[in-house]
Structure 1
């Protein structure tokens, strides 16, 4: 089972951290963005890493958790022409984009390929009591409160991590990683 992560910000970096801490030793991920000071309140990065590329830095941070793990990463801006090829060998893909149009593009391009997609919707605001997980069809799972857009609501570490934790739980469940 190969797990891919599209985006290495608040959701992507934290899902990756949770998965590596559970013992998963291979992930494939990509992002084109650089770390900014405003990211530090919710992403798995540190002050001395501001200005570095998120995907490359995430691999280094994850290796601090498990130095034997392998991470296939790329500095890449995903679009409909490259996303299917990048994740072609992945069985499960975490959608960790900020923008709605990128979320839609990932789902439209990967769902027909029978990938299990785990997406986030509604991670703004500080309230965690409204977080839900929904199954949408055979292979699409969405986690969040489905209302608080990050364009209109501040993001808080505890809520982003709560959503990322549930997404990691879905990976463990759907990938058969958990102990019965």
Structure 2
């Protein structure tokens, strides 16, 4: 059924209506809520997570933010509104004048991954809040993404036109679709 749901529209509707409820049952909901709570408790006051090498990763912070948005919270409202606000504030603060969204530590370590996830996150935040500061950062981020696409259509680890990497290209394509 799952394979057919992508190829046959009538199967997709049927799968969603029948099996969707079975897949996202009370056990799954409880697990998701537990994970969201764990993330909220792990977040630092500045929006980062822990003290590992990835504590200030815009990718991790943005993905955590996306998970809270998907739960129905928005920055400042809902059970995860305060942690979402910290995510937004942190991600926005990592944007530079070129439009790249990356922490200082990420600047020389494949920043386009985090940039893609941060752009996707901010697109969702903007769609829900219409925050003008988020829009300004988002417009610059999209501009950088468009400007760094190579002639074959892909992106690389650094914000420059060169060869492409499949996973970085996926991050940018998903961000632009956000």
Answer yes or no: same fold by TM over 0.5: no
* Larger RCO, structures 1/2 (Cα 8 Å, 6+ apart): 1
**Structure (1/2) with the larger strand percentage:** 1
TM-score (norm 2): 0.30
**Structure (1/2) with the larger helix percentage:** 2
